[in-house]
Amino acid sequence: MSTENKKPDKLFYSIGEVAEMFNVKTSLIRYWENEFDIIKPQKNKKGNRLFTAKDIDNFHLIWHLVKERGMTLKGAKKKIKENLEETEHNFEAVKKLNEIKDLLLAIKNEL
pTM: 0.70
| Amino acid 8: pLDDT | 55
Regions of the chain where pLDDT drops below 50:
2-6
pLDDT, tens digit, 9 for 90 and up, residues 76-107: 988 888 877 777 777 778 788 888 988 999 99
Kindly list the structural domains of the chain, giving each domain's residue range(s) and its CATH number in brackets, ordered by start: 15-110 (1.10.1660.10)
pLDDT value for 22: 92
Q: How far is CA 66 from CA 29, 74, 111, in A?
A: 13, 10, 36
